[in-house]
Amino acid sequence: MGKRLRPARGSGLNINLTPMIDVVFLLLIFFVLIAQSSRWRWAQVELPEPEPSAAKYVYSSDVLTITVICNQQGKLLAYQVQGQMISPEQVGILTQKLQDRKEANPQVEVNLRADRRADGQVVEALMAACAQVGISHVNLVAAMEQ
């Protein structure tokens, strides 16, 4: 009885686990990368590319990034803050977010990621909004040297 249940030697499928685990892990890494890149990607904007560029990456523990999105003609379409799209008419929401972050952390920094085609006045208005709520660390985002 017990002898019957035993799998026949040399006739069944012998699967080597090592390469299978290898491939499974590769697939896992692949899908994790895909998922991460789609989740955390900021809105695509054409950043200014000064040459030579003085832009540097400096780590900061608390940064609020505001992305200014515009169309081909430079017309302002929306702001993106913490993944949320804010239309130009809802600028009050943006000011409220700045206020909230300032209250949560007085040392908060603001990074302005503006499309190169946008009107400079938009960035100036954002700087004025930051100054109004008392945020003094405001950085302009630009492409770094390749």
Least CB distance to other proteins at residue 143 (A): 6
**Residues 78, 85 contacting (CB under 8 angstroms):** yes
Integer CA distances (angstroms), 102 to 62, 68, 83, 142, in order: 10, 20, 19, 24
CA separation for the pair 139, 56 (Å, rounded): 11
Question: Shortest CA distance to 111 belongs to which of 143, 140, 79?
Answer: 140
User: x/- string (CB under 8 A) for other proteins, residues 96-125?
Assistant: ---------------x-xxxxxxxxxxxx-
- Contact set for other proteins, span 34-93 (CB under 8 A): 34, 37, 41-42, 47-48, 50-58, 68, 74
Both tokens assigned to 7: 């799998």
Site residues, other proteins (CB under 8 A): 8, 10-11, 13-16, 19, 22-23, 26-27, 29-30, 33-34, 37, 41-42, 47-48, 50-58, 68, 74, 111, 113-124, 127-128, 130-132, 134-144, 146
